Amino acid sequence: MSELSEMSVVPAKRSPHMLLRWSLRELWQGQLWPVAVALTLIIACVFALSALVMRVEKIMTDQGRSVLTADLVLRSGNPISSDVLTTAKTQGLTVSQQVRFGTMAFSDSNMQLVSVKAVASDFPLRGSLALKGKNTLAAHVKPGELWLAERLFSLLDVKIGDAVMIGDAELNVSGVIAQDPELSFNPFNQMPAVLIHADDVERTGAVQLGGRVSYRAYFMGADNALEQLQSQIELVPGQRWLSESTQGRTGDVIDRARQYLSLTLILVILMASATLALTCQHYTSSRRSTVAMMKSLGAQKRWLWRWLLGQLSLLFVIAAISGVLLGSLLEWLLRLPLGDMLPAQLPSIGVTPYITSLLVALLVAIPGVGISLVRLVNTSAVAVMQSQADHQVSSWRFALLLLPVSALLLWVGGNSLMWITLAGLITLLAVLAALGVLLVSLLRRKSWGAALQLALSRIGRSPLVTGAQLAALTASLMLLAIIWLLRTDLLQDWQQTLPSDAPNVFALNISDAERDAYTQALDAKDIDHSSLYPVIRGRLVASNGTSYLEQAQEQGSEPDEALRRELNFTWREQLPLHNTLSQGEWGGVGSVSVEQGIAKRLGIAMGDMLTFNVNSLPFEAKVTSIREVEWRNMRPNFYFIFSPDVMVDLPATYLVSFRIGAEQSELLNGLGRDYPTVSLLDLRTMASRIQVLLQQISLSLSVLAALGVVSGLLLVFTLLRLGLSQRQQEITLYRTLGASRQRISATVWWEYGLMAMIAGVMATFGAEGVVALLVSFGFELTPQWHPLLWLGLPAVAMLLVLALVQTMMPKLLKPLQNMA
């Protein structure tokens, strides 16, 4: 009676002190603590995830930019205009330049074709260049210095201090290039590297008009200045921007990782939001009788709003403080598995995670709490006696949903991956909810035991409510499955990017006379190697008699990049093991197999007659197959593979790839000495750096996926707990009508067991469908079947039900003991 006495005087006094005391009491003794917990978890999860995502993304970006040696690079086939460099400097960007060209290097006893990189004194702007002299280490190139790749010492038979002619310039060897931060991979166009200073380019005399020279401008600075520079500079033919997201295999990995991070964050927010909304709905349902009593004692709506908003404001402050503290701890715990992979100096997170977590919680709480509170405040005083007698509440309160929806639209924007996910989820939930209701309806038509029959009756009493419950439970299970399956598919794809047995050395330009001896030398040293690939350079010129270049001129468009240069052709009797046929059949007289990417770009179809040109000699071949090629696996791959009869009379050199360990450098040097005309491309350093990058990203995604799964399990637990708590009154009624404890217990077990099994199976269907869409259209990968999911997800649902029902069953049956 004391609480009712206090309540009766509240509308008159409206004491702020008394309101605060009641708010604290309501938080502690009422049903608001689950709302506070849900809100705290939202803030903690969003803070931890956004902070970790920010750190991981900065680390991935730094890794990518270290590989690029700058924040942004402009690559050009012609000298870069000084206007571009001036514009960059006026925007506060640091600028460096590089010139690349091929030329001959001469020592006293040997000569070798080399790839020269002429760099400025500040190269690299990012990453670490390690140059090892006789007794010194250096990180930058100075005028007059000459630094050689390790294998050039044996190829040229020189040592540090010896003179080497680079073109027309005589330079003394300063030392070895121990580590070059720039990663590149093209086994057909790479020569041993040489570093000189940009001031010495003119002395070499190797940069001539019409020569094959590449120019690069490197930029470093703020992201907004980089974006402004790109928008202001109009590229000319032969120019291209390079960034961490466009730099080959590493750029592809980073871009897909970013997509996954964003997707995981939004799915966690969706699950946490659903948890909050359900908890708020349960709270308002439990407090309707209290509000009705207060209205019967004279409380007005204005006072009720003051009372409720005071509680919620206090609740939000408590949740904000505890959520940020918990989120900071959670982010630290999430970083523990990544300790060996993260840099010693972690990037700062700034204030963004704090603002983001509080703003997300507020945007979610306004409709999640507001919609229920409007209905609660409009509770009629008559509801004290008749709970069904409630005023009709206007549907305008659902307009509060526009706040988070508008924020979502601004955030997601044109991200097709997000829209695919949301559209797929909504469609699948509607379909699966209908299927669940239909399945329950079919089961009710059969005769079962009393407990199961009562459970089916309870589930199927209201198709709308049943559909909503199944949809919610299915959605939560499906979301956690999507997060984990995407992580698994991405990691599997990245393992194919650089498999553990991928070759890390390519031997090129092997003559026909040396090919058998070279492979025998590899066999003698127990080196596992690929088969020999004959290689000859040529051009694709026409399709079905129509010249590609003439067609491009008529259309006024730029020819495809593959048409503007020589390509590497090969021929084989058998399909390479790492290629897959997507159309047609392998082989046939006068045939050619085409890689599907270039076939799509150039409109090449099965049966087309293609014209090629090798050493000014034209020949034709018919397209009999189209192949899928994984360009990122560091294996020999080709656009066009011919049948042997087409090119048997053309002179060719040979290519072989193999794998050696980091400690076998002397073996590689020995091959270089024994076969001086064979070019060796050593990719061990690049491969190890890509492996480290993939390992970092893989561990990060695993941690994030685990957090997403925990959020999903929390939502499932909340759904089941609220459903069970709502059974209390029904169970009391069943016992009053004579039902035994065993019958009631069996009914609860059947009801929630069936719900969990149906939701688990439907969630598996839904997860497979959504992941297939995301993988195909969002990540551009091949969809896969996940057989373990069909056992795992229903099992997880059943285990959750088992744990929760076992925990709550004594509490549910406690009134029965009192009755007994």
Angstrom distances, CA of residue 653 to CA of 4, 417, 529, 639: 96, 45, 17, 17
pLDDT score for 197? 92
Return d(Cα 6, Cα 15) in angstroms, integer.
Answer: 11
Residue 621 has pLDDT above 90, yes or no: yes
Residue 31 has pLDDT above 60, yes or no: no
Q: Which residues 6+ apart lie within 8 Å of 456 measured at CB?
A: 440, 443, 444, 448, 750, 754
- Model confidence band, residue 732 (pLDDT cutoffs 50, 70, 90): low
- Mark whether 479 and 594 lie in a shared domain: no
Residue for token digits 């005028």? 143
Return d(Cα 44, Cα 40) in angstroms, integer.
Answer: 6
pLDDT score for 694? 60
pLDDT score for 19? 56
Tell me the average pLDDT across 147-172: 87
Out of 402, 435, 450, a domain closes at 402
- Mark whether 277 and 350 lie in a shared domain: yes
pLDDT score for 29? 55
Residue for token digits 């500079």? 233
Return the closest-CA partner of residue 338 out of 15, 663, 749, 706: 706
Percent of the chain with pLDDT over 90: 9
Q: Which amino acid is at 395?
A: S
Backbone angles phi, psi at 243, to 5 degrees: -135, 180
Out of 608, 643, 658, a domain closes at 658
How many Cα atoms within 13 Å fall on the side-chain side of residue 98? 26
pLDDT in tens, 525-576: 888 888 888 988 888 999 998 888 888 777 777 777 778 778 889 998 889 8
Out of 604, 623, 658, a domain closes at 658
Return d(Cα 135, Cα 316) in angstroms, integer.
Answer: 64
Tell me the average pLDDT across 94-105: 88
- Mark whether 303 and 427 lie in a shared domain: no
- Model confidence band, residue 389 (pLDDT cutoffs 50, 70, 90): very low
pLDDT score for 8? 42
Q: Which amino acid is at 710?
A: V
Residue 610 has pLDDT above 90, yes or no: yes
- Mark whether 438 and 458 lie in a shared domain: yes
Tell me the average pLDDT across 203-213: 72
- Model confidence band, residue 137 (pLDDT cutoffs 50, 70, 90): confident
- Mark whether 477 and 621 lie in a shared domain: no
Residue for token digits 């559209």? 423
- Mark whether 365 and 389 lie in a shared domain: yes
Residue 609 has pLDDT above 90, yes or no: yes
Residue 212 domain boundaries: 72-242
- Mark whether 641 and 698 lie in a shared domain: no
- Mark whether 462 and 346 lie in a shared domain: no
Q: Which residues 6+ apart lie within 8 Å of 347 measured at CB?
A: 54, 55, 58, 59, 62
Return d(Cα 704, Cα 247) in angstroms, integer.
Answer: 25
Residue 673 domain-assigned?
no
Return d(Cα 709, Cα 477) in angstroms, integer.
Answer: 9
Neighbours of 706 (CB within 10 A): 15
Return the closest-CA partner of residue 701 out of 215, 164, 162, 49: 49
Neighbours of 155 (CB within 10 A): 25
Beta bridge partners of 567: 538
Residue 297 domain-assigned?
yes
Tell me the average pLDDT across 67-93: 87
Minimum mean pLDDT range among 330-339, 383-392, 762-771: 383-392
Cβ–Cβ under 8 Å, residues 51 and 331: yes
Cβ–Cβ under 8 Å, residues 690 and 249: yes
| 432-449 burial: b if 16+ Cβ within 10 Å, else e | bbebbbebbeebeeeeee
Tell me the average pLDDT across 42-66: 75
Return the closest-CA partner of residue 258 out of 499, 59, 488: 59
Return d(Cα 531, Cα 263) in angstroms, integer.
Answer: 42
Tell me the average pLDDT across 196-202: 90
Summary mean pLDDT of the chain: 76
Residue 4 domain-assigned?
yes
Residue 667 domain-assigned?
no
Residue 737 structure tokens: 């009508």
Residue 515 domain-assigned?
no
Cβ–Cβ under 8 Å, residues 289 and 383: yes
Return d(Cα 644, Cα 646) in angstroms, integer.
Answer: 5
Q: Which amino acid is at 599?
A: A
DSSP 529: B
Q: Which residues 6+ apart lie within 8 Å of 319 measured at CB?
A: 36, 39, 40, 43, 361
Residue 717 domain-assigned?
yes
- Model confidence band, residue 7 (pLDDT cutoffs 50, 70, 90): very low
- Mark whether 540 and 605 lie in a shared domain: yes
- Mark whether 690 and 803 lie in a shared domain: yes
pLDDT in tens, 642-659: 999 888 778 888 888 888
Residue 627 has pLDDT above 90, yes or no: yes
pLDDT score for 33? 66
Residue for token digits 């759904």? 719
- Model confidence band, residue 9 (pLDDT cutoffs 50, 70, 90): very low
Residue 803 domain-assigned?
yes
Residue for token digits 């997170």? 349
Return d(Cα 142, Cα 384) in angstroms, integer.
Answer: 88
Tell me the average pLDDT across 171-175: 92
Cβ–Cβ under 8 Å, residues 174 and 160: yes
pLDDT score for 433? 67
With residues binned 3-state (H G I as helix, E B as strand, rest as coil), the percentages for the chain, rounded to 5, are 60, 15, 25
Residue 561 structure tokens: 């990049």
Q: Which residue has the higher pLDDT, 471 or 323?
A: 323
- Model confidence band, residue 12 (pLDDT cutoffs 50, 70, 90): very low
Number of domains in the chain: 4
Residue 162 has pLDDT above 80, yes or no: yes
- Mark whether 807 and 773 lie in a shared domain: yes
- Mark whether 594 and 703 lie in a shared domain: no
pLDDT score for 14? 47
Residue 82 domain-assigned?
yes
Cβ–Cβ under 8 Å, residues 609 and 475: no
Tell me the average pLDDT across 692-721: 63
pLDDT score for 641? 94
